[in-house]
Structures are given as structure tokens and as C-alpha cells.
């Protein structure tokens, strides 16, 4: 596995995008975000580094970097990363799937716009890949994340579901 950083895209003073190449860095960012949002009522999910490695190796993880620091990320796939019954969504020709939308906790404390930048980038990449919709699974108890998805036009489909004590909602944004 390549332990260095991938070639960056769209470098700017606000950061640069890259396709992640370091699964350990990605997993650490994911777990830091989970720990930041965890509460006794809403514990951090159990994450498997093997899943992170597969997604990084597939080229599905997109990192926003500020200098050498990974400040935010998301995963974009063409296969659903969740096991919900897809019949809850309206029919689509070529859906893309957004998961693991993460902003480093330090950025959240500073009021970073990195989450919005991740969503904008995910929408751009999905549309460029020919997707007609972008689907996502979210924790409705993370109100800021749910509100951000709503501001970007994601609409809830189906009912909130609970699995292993963790609630989930399923959302979709029409791209064309």
C-alpha cells in the first residue's frame, strides 16, 4: 500500500482534494470524528479498518487537505455501503452513494465549511460520473449533519431505522 499522499487536485489556499492513499490516516480521521460526536445515548460505531482499507484501495475515499493535514473526507461509491432495502428510494437509473462524511473535530470547533465543501465535491464527482441521484445514510441524531444534507437538497426516504441501538435515515438528492 502507498503510505504517502496521493497527487492533489484543485489546490488552493482553502485546501486541496486528493483521492486517499493512506488507509491508516483515513481511519484515524474517521475514528476521531466518531469519538467527537459520541454521547452515552449515541455511542461511536465500531469501525473496521479492513473496510477502510478496501475503500481506500478502490479509490473511493476523497480527502480535503490543508497543507499536510487531512481536514475532511467522504466516500463515494456506485454500490450501496449500507444494507437498507433500496425500495425506500424512488427509481433511479444510476445512483451514486455518499458515506463517511467526516470533518476533523478541530475544524468543527472553528466553524469550518469543510463539510459543505465535501458535499459540493461529492455532488460534482457523482454528476461527472453519470449519476442521476446521490444517496446517503445518516444518523438523524447528528442534527448539524442532517441539516447540512437538507441544505444541499437531500430528502429523506423511508422511516428512521434503528440497528444495534443506532438510528439511521436514508436520503437522496436528485442530480438531473
Task: Tell me what pLDDT residue 13 has.
Answer: 60
The pLDDT tens digits for 37-53 are 888 888 888 899 999 99
- Asked if pLDDT for residue 30 goes beyond 60, the answer is yes
- pLDDT class for 54, splitting at 50, 70, 90? very high
The pLDDT tens digits for 93-127 are 999 999 999 999 988 777 789 999 999 999 999 99
132 in any annotated domain: yes
Compute the distance between CA of residue 158 and CA of residue 143 in angstroms, rounded to an integer: 18
Range of the domain at 58: 17-174
Which CATH number belongs to the domain containing residue 142 in this structure? 3.40.630.30
Among 4-8, 21-25, 31-35, the range scoring the smallest mean pLDDT is 4-8
Task: Tell me what pLDDT residue 76 has.
Answer: 98
3 in any annotated domain: no
64 in any annotated domain: yes
Give how far Cα 161 sits from Cα of 23, 63, 66, 85, 138, Å. 29, 29, 36, 11, 10
11 in any annotated domain: no
42 in any annotated domain: yes
7 in any annotated domain: no
6 in any annotated domain: no
The three-class DSSP label of residue 43 is: coil
Number of domains the chain is built from: 1
- Asked if pLDDT for residue 161 goes beyond 70, the answer is no
Q: What is the dihedral of CA 10, 57, 31, 36, to 10 degrees?
A: 30
Name which of 151, 79, 76, 153 is nearest 121 in CA terms. 76
CA angle 63, 78, 104 (to 5 degrees): 25
Amino acid at each position: 500500500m502507498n503510505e504517502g499522499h496521493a497527487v492533489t487536485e484543485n489546490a488552493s489556499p482553502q485546501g486541496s482534494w486528493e483521492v486517499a492513499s493512506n488507509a491508516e490516516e483515513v481511519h484515524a480521521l474517521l475514528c476521531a470524528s466518531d469519538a467527537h460526536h459520541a454521547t452515552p445515548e449515541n455511542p461511536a460505531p465500531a469501525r473496521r479498518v479492513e473496510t477502510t482499507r478496501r475503500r481506500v484501495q478502490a479509490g473511493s475515499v476523497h480527502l480535503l487537505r490543508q497543507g499536510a493535514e487531512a481536514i475532511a473526507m467522504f466516500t463515494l461509491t456506485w454500490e450501496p455501503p449500507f444494507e437498507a432495502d433500496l425500495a425506500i428510494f424512488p427509481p433511479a437509473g444510476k445512483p451514486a452513494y455518499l458515506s463517511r462524511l467526516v470533518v476533523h473535530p478541530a475544524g468543527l470547533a472553528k466553524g469550518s465549511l469543510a463539510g459543505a465543501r465535501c458535499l459540493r465535491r461529492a455532488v460534482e464527482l457523482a454528476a461527472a460520473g453519470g449519476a442521476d441521484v446521490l444517496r446517503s445514510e445518516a444518523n438523524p441524531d447528528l442534527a448539524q449533519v442532517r441539516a447540512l444534507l437538507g441544505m444541499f437538497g437531500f430528502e429523506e426516504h423511508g422511516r428512521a431505522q434503528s440497528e444495534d441501538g443506532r438510528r439511521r435515515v436514508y436520503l437522496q438528492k436528485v442530480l438531473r
